Chains A and B, each alone.
Chain A
Amino acid sequence: MGTENTAKATAPTVGDKVYHLRLAKGEISPYVVLPGDQNASAHVENIWEDTKQLAYNREYKTVAGKYEGMDIAMTSTGIGCQPAEICVNELKKIGVHTCIKVGCAESIREDISVGDIIIPFACMRKGGAVTHYVQPEFPAFCAPETTKALIQACMELGYQYTLGVVCSISSYYIGQARPLNGDENSYWPTQGEGLIAHLRNSRISAIDMETAGTLIMGYLHGLRMGAVLGVNANRITGEWLDEGGQEKACRVASRALKILKEKDEASKSL
C-alpha cells in the first residue's frame, strides 16, 4: 500500500488509506451495503449488532457491524453516480467484492406504493459519470446471483417485492420532470411534460438517481453488484415519504449478503 511518500496522482492515498473513503485495505468486510444517504447508518444500526463508525469524510460514511453473526459494512455513496464511481473504485482497492445498493425510488405505477420494495434487476439510465465508461447501449444490471439472493431474502423476511426495471436519472428536478418552481416563465422544456408517461409506457416501474451508474461501474470494477430500493414517493398518486421503505431495503440487502456469503463458503468447501 502507498504511504504519504509514495502516493500517486493516479491512485491517491492518505497514509495507508484510500483518498476519499479513508479506509485501509482489509479494514471492512468484503460484503457491503451501499446507501446513497449517509444517514442510512441509523437504519443499519437498528438492524446490525456491534456497529462502529470507521470513517466519515465528505458524504462517505462507513459503518461496520454484525448481521446475524456475519461481518458486514455500509459505505454511503452520496447523490448521483459520480460520487458512487469514487466509492466503488476505492472499495475495490480495499478488498471489497460484493455490494448491494440500497436507496429510495419514486414509483410510477399505481400498484407500487410508498414503503414497497423494488428489486431493480435492470435499469435504464440517463446521463451520469457512467457515460465516461461505456457506450449508451451497455446495459445496467444486477449480477443474477445477487438478484436471486435478494428475492430469497424478501421471501424469508415475508416482504412483498417487485422485480422491476428502474430508470436512473442524473438530475432530481428537471430530469425527473419537476418544474423548477411555480413561476410560469421558469425553465420547463417540453421533454419534462411527457417523461413519466413515456417511462410508464416503456414498462418502467420507478425512477431514482444512481442505481444504474452504480451497478455498471461496480461491474466494471469486478464487483458482484445488486440493488434493492424502498419506494418513498408515487409520482402517479402523489403519495410522498415513508421512512419504512429504506429500512426494509437495508434489511433485505443485509440478508441477501448473508445468503451470498453462505453460498460462497459452500462452494469454497467443495
Chain B
Amino acid sequence: MRELNQVLDPKTKDGKSYYLHLEKGDMPGYVIVPGSPERIAKIAANWENVVDVAENRHYISKKGLYNGMEQGATSTGIGALSAEICFNELQKAGVHTCIRIGTTGCIDPEYDSGDLLIPYAVIRKDGSSECYIEPEFPSFADPIVVMALSEACERLGYKYGLALEYTAGSFYMGQGRPLSDEPGSYWPSWANNILPDIEQQGVKVLEMDTGGQFVIAYLHGIRMGAILAVVANRKNNSFAYNNGEEKACLATSLALQILKEWDEEGKFGR
C-alpha cells in the first residue's frame, strides 16, 4: 500500500474528498456519469427516493432507486481532465461500475439526432490519458457493459448502434470546426483532414470526453461503458436534440440493473 497524505489525497476540512465532497460509502457501486450537471436531474427523473449527496463546482452527486436498485449519478464536467478527478474520487468512495451518458456528433448518415450510439473503442486525442500511459494503450468500453447497454436499448425499442469513436480534447479546432467565418482566422492545413481521415477509419461519432475517460477509469480499476445521444450530424450539418438524452438516461439505468443481475448470477467470467 502507498501512504497518501493530505497533499496526495486532498480532503476537505470535514474529511470528504476534495472536489466531489464524497466519503467512502456515500455512493452506490453503480454510478452514471454524465458530462453536464444539468443532466443529473434527467437521470434522477427515472428514480425514486432521490437523495442529494454532494455538490461542488460542476460536480453534482445524487443517488436513488431505479426499479428498487440503488444507483448514483455524478457529473464529470467537460473534458478528460475534469473527469479524471471525478473517477479518482468516485473510486475512493467505493464505485466500481460507471456508464457515461453524453451527447455526440455523428458522421454516419444512418444515425440522426435522437438516435443512440454505444462506443466500444475510441481513438483518443483527449489530452489527459496521455499523462497516464503510452498512446498505444487502447481506449475501450468493457465488453460486458456494451452488451448490457445493447440489451437495454433492445428491451426499450430504441434505435441504437455500436460505434468506433474519435475523442478530441477540443470542441472547435480538434473536431474540425473553423474558429469563425473570418478569412484570417486560424485554420491549419491539417484541420481539413480531421473529418475525412476519421471517416476513412470507420469512425461513427466524435465528441470530447469518452476516450480519455475509458482509459483513466480502466486504470483506476473501474468497469466502464458509455452511451451517446446524437445531437449533430456532421454529414448533413444538422443539430437537434429529439429526446436522445432522455432515452440515453433510461437505457443507462436499465443497463445498470441488467449488469447487476448478471454480476449476481456470475454470468460472465472475468
Residues of chain A in range 127-164 having any CB-CB distance to chain B below 8 Å:
134-141, 144, 147-148, 151, 154, 160-163
Q: Interface centre among A144, A212, A219, by most B CB within 10 Å?
A: A144
B124-177 interface with A by 8 A CB criterion: 124-125, 133-140, 143-144, 146-147, 162, 164
Q: Which residue of chain B lies nearest to A124 when distances are taken between CB atoms in the complex?
A: B137
Quick check: A139 and B219 within 8 Å, CB to CB? Answer: no
One of A138, A161, A163 near B201 (C-beta < 8 A): A138
Contact mask for chain B residues 211-239; partner A; CB cutoff 8 A; 1 contact, 0 none: 10000001101000000000000000000
Q: In the complex, how many residues of chain B place their beta carbon closer than 8 angstroms to a beta carbon of chain A?
A: 29
Instruction: Name the A residues within 8 Å of B143 (CB-CB).
Output: 121, 144, 147-148, 151, 163
Smallest beta-carbon distance A66→chain B, Å = 29
B136 pairs with A124, CB closer than 8 A: yes
Contact A126 to B136, CB < 8 A, known contacts A121-B143, A141-B120 = yes
* Cross-chain contact A137 with B269 (CB below 8 angstroms): no
Q: Are A122 and B121 in contact (CB under 8 A)?
A: yes
Enumerate chain A residues within 8 angstroms of B136, measured Cβ to Cβ.
124-126, 136-137
List, in ascending order, chain A residues with CB within 8 A of B124's CB.
137, 139
Asked if A139 and B218 make an inter-chain contact with CB atoms under 8 angstroms apart, the answer reads no
> A255: shortest Cβ distance to chain B, in Å?
16
Interface residues of A in 152-200 (CB under 8 A from B): 154, 160-163, 165
Is A135 in contact with B138, judged by CB distance below 8 angstroms?
no
- A161: chain B residues at CB < 8 Å are 269
Best-buried of B137, B144, B268 by chain A (most CB within 10 Å): B137
Chain A CB within 8 A of B202 CB: yes
What are the interface flags for B223-265 relative to A under an 8 Å C-beta threshold, 1 for contact and 0 otherwise? 0000000000000000000000000000000000000000000
Contacts A134-B201, A220-B201 supplied; 4 other A-B pairs, CB < 8 Å: A121-B140, A122-B121, A137-B123, A202-B137
5 smallest CB-CB distances across A and B, nearest first, come from A139-B138, A136-B135, A122-B140, A141-B121, A139-B121
Give chain A's interface residues, CB within 8 Å of chain B: 121-126, 134-141, 144, 147-148, 151, 154, 160-163, 165, 202-203, 212, 219-220
